[in-house]
A and B are shown apart, each in its own frame.
Chain A
Amino acid sequence: MKKIYFLWLRQIKRYLRSRSRIIGSLGQPLLFLLALGYGFGSVFQKAGEGNYLNFLAPGIIGMSIIFTAIFTGIEIIWDRQFGFLKEMMVAPMSRISIMIGRTLGGATVATAQGLIVLLISLLFGFHPYNWFLIIASIPVMFVIALLFTALGTMIASFLDDMQGFQLIMNFLVMPLFFLSGALFPLQGLPKVLSIIAQLDPLSYGIDALRDLLIGASFYGLSFDILILSSVTLIFLFLGSYFFKKIQI
């Protein structure tokens, strides 16, 4: 337990020390809120869908969580290149504990990033319909973060260096984000897009956040949570399976 805690703490320390990374990773959500939130606001309003910034904010929170989570998962490649992975691998602890410590740490960092974006979107004029439900949205953010950190870990066990990172960003992370309904309502989508969105675990995460933050959801909160937690469990399992196979 103590070992897991220390590995978790290591991730947190690394996060807090890389200020440039924290600030850098806020640029994109800021831009999205500004350009899309304000830019499409009037069109959205005219279409009778209400306040676009309010609709968009949970999506952007989800975006910063998935980006941070996948990145912290993939960071194992760096641990491998800088050698620290070896130090962990020869220590008397199971691979599962290493994986758990790292994943919890990464997920905590991603959740923190999500909360920062939530605070920023409040400054942009986002108003949640019930302030208390913000608290309830934190565990949901954490589950989303866990899911994608585990996915990142899984990807990292297939990659040898960071060169494949761009590939992963363009062909996995970006599609997961853009097709999740983070930017558009899931109602009345063309058939293909609707099916893709249903296969994208992030759409359930963002839908759950919307339910809690603006009181509107497409799939329903309990269904979202059910799908989200099952997929998270599967990914955690797969992540530890592939992590166990890493040889140095």
Chain B
Amino acid sequence: MIEVNNLTKRFHDFVAVDDISFNINEGEIFAFLGPNGAGKSTTIKMLTTLLQPTGGKIILDGHDPVHQPDLARRSFGIVFQDPSLDDELTAWENMDLHGVLYDVPDKLRKERAEQLLKFVDLWERKDSLVKEFSGGMKRRLEIARGLLHHPKIIFLDEPTIGLDPQTRNLMWTYLKELNKNEGTTIFFTTHYMAEAEKIAQRIAIIDHGKIIATGTSEELKSQTKTNSLEEAFLALTGNTIREETANASDRMRLARRSWRR
């Protein structure tokens, strides 16, 4: 379902993603782990057509995001790490606009929007402007919106940040059901190792732009002779705390400045 071969992204002279390759099968739940600044978000951005790779090849559901962006975009849904809602629109309008952008037919769009808003417990607030929402409510809306068009692949970039255990559970229950009933492929990143251990069928660990280990959580544990995924993760990536020198847009700024010169 997702094939990545020798994918590389360079910003100026900083290599964010360094020649990584992996395959994800249809219907698989795949966790992509790594310390801050390891290249997780940059990889997701390349997979979801937001960034052009410097080198390598990606195939999403048979389509190349670089050359056939629209076909590739149709195959996935994404819940971003940081907010991407329109604050000046209501919850309902955000859902509805999303459905329209993804060609969900009118009737189905309204049904699903209602069902999902009820599911994330925002139905009573559907006509409130998003700017009046709390952080957690925005997060829930964002997740509901990403699921509206029932994509074949769902990317979730640290989806459970700022969610209480109740909502987190609810969300994963829904996603697992979707995975079971519709065969949706799920690709997610997280810093909660327990979550990855519980949910993911397969895990890849990325550090300094390179994939340093891939396998089931059992395999990673036996490979590192540790008892938990958290220990395995630390054994593989070390204990030093990473300074995220700059986020992607800062790097972009840098790149642009050098281009202007």
B65-101 contacts to A (CB < 8 Å): 70-71, 73-74, 76, 78, 80, 82-89, 93, 96-98, 100-101
Q: Decide if A83 touches B85 in the complex (CB within 8 Å).
A: yes
In A95-111, which residues have CB < 8 Å from any B CB? Answer: none
- A84 interface residue per 8 A CB criterion: yes
With an 8 A cutoff between CB atoms, is A190 at the interface?
no
- Is A83 a contact partner of B84 (Cβ separation < 8 A)? yes
Query: A248 with B101: in contact, given A10-B86, A90-B48, A93-B70 (CB under 8 Å)?
Result: no
Near B by CB (< 8 A), chain A positions 14-69 give: 14, 17-18
Instruction: Compute how far the CA of A84 lies from the CA of B83 in the bound complex, rounded to whole angstroms.
Output: 8
Question: Do B93 and A13 touch across chains, with their CB atoms under 8 A apart?
Answer: yes
What B residues does A85 contact at CB under 8 A?
84
A92 touches B74 (CB 8 A): yes
Q: Which of A2, A82, A84 contacts B100 (CB 8 A)?
A: A2
Q: Which residues of A contact B253 (CB under 8 A)?
A: 160
Q: How far is the CB of B167 from chain A (nearest CB, A)?
A: 20
Q: What is the total number of residues of chain A having a CB less than 8 Å from a CB of chain B?
A: 24
Beta-carbon nearest neighbor of A88 in chain B: B101
Q: Is B234 an interface residue (CB 8 A)?
A: no
B88/A247 in contact, CB under 8 A? no
A165 / chain B contacts, CB cutoff of 8 Å: none
With contact pairs A247-B51, A248-B51, A248-B249 given, residues A92 and B89 touching in the complex (Cβ less than 8 Å) = no
Q: Decide: A92 near B86, CB < 8 A? Known: A86-B50, A247-B50, A248-B45.
A: no
User: Could you tell me the distance in whole angstroms from the C-beta of B78 to the nearest C-beta in chain A?
Assistant: 6
CB proximity to B under 8 Å, residues A212-235: none
Q: Is A6 an interface residue (CB 8 A)?
A: yes
A127 to chain B: which residues have CB within 8 Å? none
Closest A-chain residue to B93, C-beta based? A13
CA of A205 to CA of B87, assembled, Å: 34
Q: Contact string, A68-86, partner B, CB cutoff 8 A, digits 1/0? A: 0000000000000011111
Report chain A residues within 8 Å CB of B73: 90-92
Q: Is A89 part of the contact surface with B, judged by Cβ < 8 Å?
A: yes
CA distance A91 to B102 in the complex (A): 6
A237 to B76 alpha-carbon distance, docked (Å): 30
Closest to B51 in A: A247
A130 interface residue per 8 A CB criterion: no
Question: Please, how many angstroms separate the alpha-carbon atoms of A91 and B50 in the complex?
Answer: 11
In the complex, which residue of chain A has the Cβ closest to the Cβ of B75? A92
Separation of A170 and B45 alpha carbons in the complex (Å) = 36
Give B100-128 as 1s and 0s: 1 = Cβ < 8 Å from A's Cβ atoms: 11110000000000000000000000000
Q: Does residue B54 face the partner (Cβ distance < 8 Å to A)?
A: no
The answer to whether A84 and B50 touch (CB under 8 A), given A90-B78, A93-B70, is no
**Residues in chain B near residue A82, CB distance under 8 A:** 83-87
Cβ-defined contact, A87 with B84, below 8 A: yes
Most buried by A among B71, B84, B103, B253: B84
User: Given the known A-B contacts A6-B100, A92-B101, A93-B101, are A247 and B89 also in contact in the complex, defined by CB atoms under 8 Å?
Assistant: no
- The answer to whether A17 touches B88 (Cβ under 8 A) is yes
Closest chain A CB from B143 CB (angstroms): 13
List residues 222-253 of chain B with CB under 8 A from any CB of chain A: 248-249, 252-253
A92 near B87: Cβ-Cβ < 8 Å: no
Compute how far the CA of A93 lies from the CA of B76 in the bound complex, rounded to whole angstroms: 13
B25 in the interface (beta carbon within 8 A):
no
Q: Which of B70, B103, B252 contacts A94 (CB 8 A)?
A: B70
Report the bound CA distance from A80 to B204 in whole Å: 30
Whole-angstrom distance from the CB of B87 to the nearest CB of chain A?
Answer: 6
Say yes or no: is B49 at the interface (Cβ < 8 Å to chain A).
yes
- Give A79's nearest chain B residue, CB to CB: B86
A14 near B83 with CB under 8 A, answer no
A162 nearest CB across to chain B (Å): 14
Query: Bound state CA distance, A2 and B96, in angstroms?
Result: 12
Could you name 30 residue pairs across A and B whose Cβ atoms are closer than 8 Å?
A3-B101, A6-B97, A10-B89, A10-B93, A10-B97, A14-B86, A17-B129, A82-B85, A83-B82, A83-B83, A84-B86, A87-B86, A87-B101, A90-B48, A90-B49, A90-B73, A91-B73, A91-B98, A91-B101, A92-B70, A92-B74, A92-B103, A93-B101, A247-B51, A247-B52, A248-B45, A248-B50, A248-B51, A248-B248, A248-B249
Given contacts A86-B80, A93-B70, 17 further A-B contacts (CB under 8 A): A6-B101, A10-B89, A10-B93, A13-B88, A13-B93, A14-B86, A14-B89, A82-B84, A82-B87, A83-B84, A84-B85, A86-B50, A88-B101, A92-B73, A92-B103, A247-B51, A247-B252
Interface pairs A-B: 5 shortest CB-CB = A83-B84, A91-B101, A92-B73, A92-B74, A87-B84
